[in-house]
A = this chain, B = another copy of it.
């Protein structure tokens, strides 16, 4: 084992093995070729003895390749971001890359700062899950030929690989499920759209669904600013449902655009004293571990988050290996998980005799 207080270098190994630094380097990089078995042995034991580990920093400096991938997320607090991070990190690690994370904490101004910080560490490529609100650094990065993969959110004017949930499909699944469950008055609630493509696409898809099924269903989309506004909109929604004339029992349904806004909807429903499912339907995009236990269970379209992260990493790795095809768009389907919040009648399991 090493005895030194600071890490040993390639020079230490060379001295220990009685060879030159170049030989050690060759052992490290071209083990099989260009090396006599005897020397290889000596180097090998020296490395083991000193516990030598190459310095990626020095390697990066010399090679111009850092084996680092930059991951910038808008908000690490969002479970979706975390899940993507997990998948991406794992895939990168398996390919010999380490992920440097930059969390913007929902401050879109920090986007450029993040890219620059990671850029200065010479990361070889980026996975971005950001607003693209301030596209300067990203565009510059792309212009420099550094590969970028966008996850969940497109950036205007940035023509690069894009990995995301198929929002149109997801919303259609939502709408159809609500239709099948007998809801006739729908509302999509999202956080303020801004330039966030996922929210915009979901809103478009929702409006399109309503238009396509105009005979059976009506609905509108809401950008939920404050909580008061949300509550007012829910009341109005229910009022509209009440006067619906096509035979339904007048129960409206809401689609939550993501887990965060869904929690706000749940809060509003609670404040109104309504029961999920019976008084109002609720369906959310992005399933969470706690969704089954809110009220009668919150129905959800589950995103393949891990898969999205892995896919993003794979795309990036392909680009790093020189692939030069036009920008790709990879849309994955979500899967519906129906629970009590979209069942217009449901009973709580009764207390059992032997309990």
Which residues of A pack against B, CB within 8 Å?
Answer: 5-7, 53-58, 60-61, 66, 76-77, 82-83, 85-86, 89-90, 98-101, 103, 105, 116-117, 119-122, 144-145, 235, 238, 263, 266-267, 270-275, 279, 288-290, 292-295, 348-352, 355
When the two chains form their complex, are residues B85 and A76 in contact, meaning their CB atoms are under 8 A apart? yes
Complex contacts, A86 vs chain B, CB 8 Å: 76-77, 103, 105
Asked if residues A57 and B274 are in contact (CB atoms below 8 Å), the reply is: no
* Minimal beta-carbon separation of A51 from chain B (angstroms): 8
Pick the residue among B101, B274, B288, B348 that contacts A99 (CB under 8 A).
B101
Contact assessment for A57 and B53 in the assembled complex, using a CB-CB cutoff below 8 Å: no
| A187 smallest CB distance to B (angstroms) | 16
Considering only CB atoms, which chain B residue lies closest to A121 in the complex? B56
CA distance A90 to B85 in the complex (A): 18
Q: In the docked arrangement, what's the CA distance between A86 and B105, Å?
A: 8
* Chain B residues closer than 8 Å to A77, beta-carbon distance: 82-83, 86
Cβ contacts under 8 Å, A349 to chain B: 270-271, 273
Residues of B close to A271: CB separation below 8 A: 349
Q: Which of B5, B121, B351 contacts A273 (CB 8 A)?
A: B351
Copies of this chain in the oligomer: 2
Task: Find out whether the CB atom of A352 lies under 8 angstroms from the CB atom of B293.
Answer: no
How far apart sit A98 and B119, CA to CA, in the bound complex (Å)?
12
Q: Are A120 and B56 in contact (CB under 8 A)?
A: yes
What is the chain B residue whose CB lies nearest that of A269?
B293
9 closest A-B pairs by beta carbon, nearest first, are: A273-B349, A290-B290, A101-B101, A53-B120, A266-B293, A273-B351, A293-B294, A57-B57, A57-B60
A290 pairs with B294, CB closer than 8 A: yes
CA distance A116 to B52 in the complex (A): 11
Q: Do A105 and B82 form a contact, CB below 8 Å, given A5-B144, A57-B121, A293-B266? A: no
CB-CB nearest in chain B for A6: B144
In the complex the two chains form, what is the Cα distance from A83 to B82 in whole Å?
Answer: 11
A55 CA / B267 CA spacing, docked (Å): 48
- Cα separation A274 to B354 with both chains bound (whole Å): 12
Q: Would you call B76 and A98 a contact (CB within 8 A)? A: no
CA distance A119 to B98 in the complex (A): 12
Tell me the smallest distance from the CB of A339 to a CB of chain B, in Å: 12
